[in-house]
Structure 1
Amino acid sequence: MDLYKAVLLGVLFSAVSAGVLDEYAKTEGARIMSILKREYSVGTVLECAIKCNAETAFTCRSFIYIEKDQECLTIPANTKTEHVLRRTSTALYEKKVYLMECVNGIGMDYRGTKSKTKSGKTCQRWASKYPHNPNMTPSTHPNADLESNFCRNPDGDSKGPWCYTRDPETRWETCNVQDCSASKPPTVVELTCSTGDGVAYRGTVAVTTSGKACQAWAAQTPQKHNRTPDNYPSNGLDLNYCRNPDNERMPWCYTTDPETRWEYCKVPSCGDVPGPASKPPTVVELTCSTGDGVAYRGTVAVTTSGKACQAWAAQTPQKHNRTPDNYPSNGLDLNYCRNPDNERMPWCYTTDPETRWEYCKVPSCGDVPGPASKPPTVVEELTCSTGDGVAYRGTVAVTTSGKACQAWAAQTPQKHNRTPDNYPSNGLDLNYCRNPDNERMPWCYTTDPETRWEYCKVPSCGDVPGPASKPPTVVELTCSTGDGVAYRGTVAVTTSGKACQAWAAQTPQKHNRTPDNYPSNGLDLNYCRNPDNERMPWCYTTDPETRWEYCKVPSCGDVPGPGSVMSSHGQSYHCYADDTQLLFSSPPPF
């Protein structure tokens, strides 16, 4: 009876897991940057998805899951509003409903970003009372996602999504949102061998890498799913052939084994098809490490701290997906240290239940003596900071706000993995400020339980006088070029008209973009700035309901000619002939 209950619970868990994750589109090796986010420690990707679905601090449109560290970041943005950045060992999951720019039926579930009516009128913000006093607002319809000024259908109007307009003469109008069934699938080149991630593969392999038979895509037993021919009409989901409809790293299929939901398939690579003078690629396998150690195939099986490595094929004590089946070409033999996912050096999961994974110290090929061997060049260690301060080895041990630094080898009050063992070449001595992970300046964990970490103010090498030393020239502009990082004008209002909060203030918005933390970014008073390489100047707002918004600052390209002066909002802006105008499509503020 207990076994029956366990099996039943397992089946129910699998069904719930599949249902929740099927709401998301996954992109492996990607992330997006967002000022607003929440961070959680989780055990599985399902837990992360549940955190996103239950998020109350903001509308969660996507989450980032770092399987190796079991970290979860919930985010209000997605790839429609922010740039995608590459990051190894992360996966970006986006709610599909927020990616769709078409409607099903009358579009009550439409969550796209269209904000113009069918006649071209701009939509009024749902929370605004001007020019029309709405009777449908975010407070009256909390589940309808009435955010910003996006077209929505909160009342089930038969004509589809609509909005109040900013035209005083037109209270509301429907929006011209495309019907999902009318969209035409793109032309895809169909291949019977696999290239890249195998999205275009249309061969007839129908068995997984472990030999399990594939379930037909149109079937719902034993695996219930939404990767059906109807939902993915352009992905070749014929019969039970291996396919890649959702941008996984290779073709896969659901299996007919009730205990195994899905597995990757081993399909022939187009490079395996013989051609004139074709030659298989040479893979050099090394017993010493070069670069990031991806080609290392030695037998070291212990981490830098002396912990034994768990076998890659095992799932205890660490459950993971870096298995020999999933990474067949990465040499995941026994429990040897490897680098299957482009980390900075070989690593392994450990047999210690308290330590998920650690880096390994494998011999460098440079340590093997050879003819006319030459000692490696060691980067000079500095007691002042240049650039991002990675080479800084000084003794500052206090943060910009005056908090004492926690020793890097300590785990209280802050638990972390930036330890001397994990980062042996980064000078993590005592509690001195360092930059082991390529932040923008040296930093440290603090001894204050309420503040995990902060940047440090270490002396710049430019501050040390030398022969004929000369400070660098920084061009400060009162108009904007590119992303506006050099903008030093006096605009202090956002695109929607909200007043900017002073950068030194912590109310109503609490933040760490302060003049102390960003001393060279011109965070004077409450002027719009771009201290963190956003796509244009922005500011925190004095409205407790709106954390931050972009600003509309004058572009240097708006000036009619060289040396001319323009006026905007009562300010004069001097621009020059070599300034370049860039146009941006501003994303909605969150």
Structure 2
Amino acid sequence: MRARTIVLLLSLFLYSVECQKLDEYVKTEGAWLYDNNKRFYGTDNEEECALKCDVEPNFLCRSFIYSPKTQKCITLPGNSKSTSLLRSTSSILYEKRIYLLECKKGTGTDYRGTESKTATGILCQAWSSTVPHIPNITPEKFPNAGLESNYCRNPDGDTKGPWCYTTESGIRFDYCNIQECEEDCMHCNGKYYRGNISKTESGLDCQSWDLQTPHTHGYLPPIFPEKDLKNNYCRNPDGEPRPWCFTSSPSKRWEYCSIPRCSTTPPTTHPGLECLSGNGESYIGKIAVTVSGKDCQAWSSQTPHRHHRIPDNYPCKKLDKNYCRNPDEETMPWCYTTDNNTRWEYCQIPSCNGAPPDVEIMPEQAPSSTEPECYVDNGKTYRGTTCMTISGKKCQAWNSMSPHVHTKTPEKHPLEDLSKNYCRNPDNDISPWCYTTDPSVRWEYCNLQKCSVPTINEVQHPVKKPETSSSPIKPEVNLDCLVGRGEHYRGTRSTTVKGHTCQVWTLQNPQQHSSFTPVSHPNAGLDSNYCRNPDRDINGPWCFITTPGSAQWDYCDIPKCAPTEIKCGIPSRIPRKCSGRIVGGCVSFPHSWPWQISLRTSSGVHFCGGTLIAPEWVLTADHCLAKSSRPSFYKVYLGIHREAATEATKQVRDVVKLIKGPSRADIALLKLSSPVLITDEVLPACLPPQDYVVPDRLQCHVTGWGDTHGTGGDGVLKEAGFPVIENKVCNRPEFLSGKVKSTELCAGHIHGGIDSCQGDSGGPLVCPEGNQFILQGVTSWGLGCAQPMKPGVYVRVSTYIPWIDETIKENS
């Protein structure tokens, strides 16, 4: 027993070391780095590949590529600072953090950045060169000092930091101006602080970012990889005056940390501009009037509005006089106003590229089409407005280079209609795709279906009933279509989208692999050479191919099954998911939100919304039931698009029970007189896991027949898409000033113009998760409708999952 314990402890130690090894790397999915001087290895996992990179004998390894399907490990001497990234299917790029840093720690002996000029601007001489100076410090004498090219280095531990030999004959060497890394101190507001302080200014321990106790929150490390939300270290992910953390005390949600300011000069992250580029963080112009014509209040003044966006708190943001600025990562420059009734507003700054400013104050015309979006063939001609990937990530604009630098720009591909951040297929891939706004995932295919989706009548074989409402439907062995990701697909297709014949899974020729065989994956259906999805690839079934060459595998083109059993959250008609830039939302595609119900009086007058969550149950807001405590007063209409409810698809149910939520929460359940008939027009939404917290800035959607305030679409179901706002931000004085409870969530555009309103109460706020929509909120309250700085507030459904489950069980 003692020997087994030692072996187990040793295994855990080695596993811990391997996992920590990956912490030294920046991970980017779907990326490839071209380099002739690379080396191939066979490994079982990424951790082994990282170890190969560490001991690479042929060159200094700065990055590696790992392919989960082929288990191939490729070590590389370059990284994204020296070579452009390429889009690649099923490959993951890992880059050593140390070679991406452009700052130094201490004397900078481990600095491996690319600065190649001295502090006085003289170009550095290459370390391997003898012209104009014969060096006594060379790569041969200092092989571990990173003496590559002509980059500034500190091979001899000089106390003044990195230096180089210069290209001027009269100056043998000079020091370089390398900024301090923010490890022990912070510049500006600590946006780039990456130290290990984990106590607040009052001495409280910080809560780990990956935990939801004692405080639930939306700053999830996987969603914000660029914010370095590691362990419980103090960070500044949301533009506060200095780093902070959620605390380990249940009575104090969050607090600032005491981090000293660096004594060195703050780094210059971008040149000052007098026009709008990106979100305007670099704007230093002199416009001092808001978009509605109000004069700006001086940043150093506390009249008429008190605030902490003062020059001392944001020393790097050039908060001069009353000029419009963006000190805290807003969507564009703004200012506090001199109007007592308007705390702050955005400013209208001319764009650097000549385009009109992206400030939307007038309604746009919604698209005239009422048909769901889909694509033909491989989607090369797709010109729709979907901008969401298959896993629910928002697309990066094609003309943007952040977070991913790329070459698929509108200028280089003028015939591909690379508009805004809409899904497109500019390189003739298998379907429309886009770069994502997630820095750790370079690109993904989009959440679109082919136009030729088979109907229920075309599917000749039935499917099994799902085990639970959230489990994938498992098709019969001979059903030749997909449900979900297709991990249960057992059809007989064996040709890929590019026309390659699939290789038998038991064979190792021409493609050698040990990772996916009937032995390693006995439940994956790896029969013959049929297309399968043993690794739950988000893009569906694939296979190794029989064509020799650099491509070892390819995806298969298999149509999606039409649903024939109850499957929550997946509408038969793909929603429009209209852009948040359309003021007031847009008219929905008919029946594209099939869980939306209309709560009415017994005489048929609509007054609230609600969400179908089971055939006999509807979730709505408690305040919608203030009209009467009698169930007979209410009726529920389902399967309608028009408020007039003239569709043949309409279903009407009486209400037999009203059950109000616990602790006076604004949530209630309605039991219907009989189960609804599940159709393409009537389908339940999915419920979230208990206590799940929606990540900050996730794009979600609200629907309803409520007051449109003159933005059009009266009498038909409208929708709007906008981001969730973390409660910490929503409770700032500028917004809802501490009124939002932990059992609620905020969503909306800070600049207003889009919101739920009267008549929408009780309706759904749904958020995408893959190809499903999850009910995360019940429309509850707000200060006015679509007002600037006043986002809507929704009951957080995940908080009440135990109550929902118990109530339905007791009343069934």
Asked if Structure 1 and Structure 2 have the same fold, meaning a TM-score greater than 0.5 normalized by the shorter chain, the answer is no
What TM-score, normalized to structure 2?
0.30
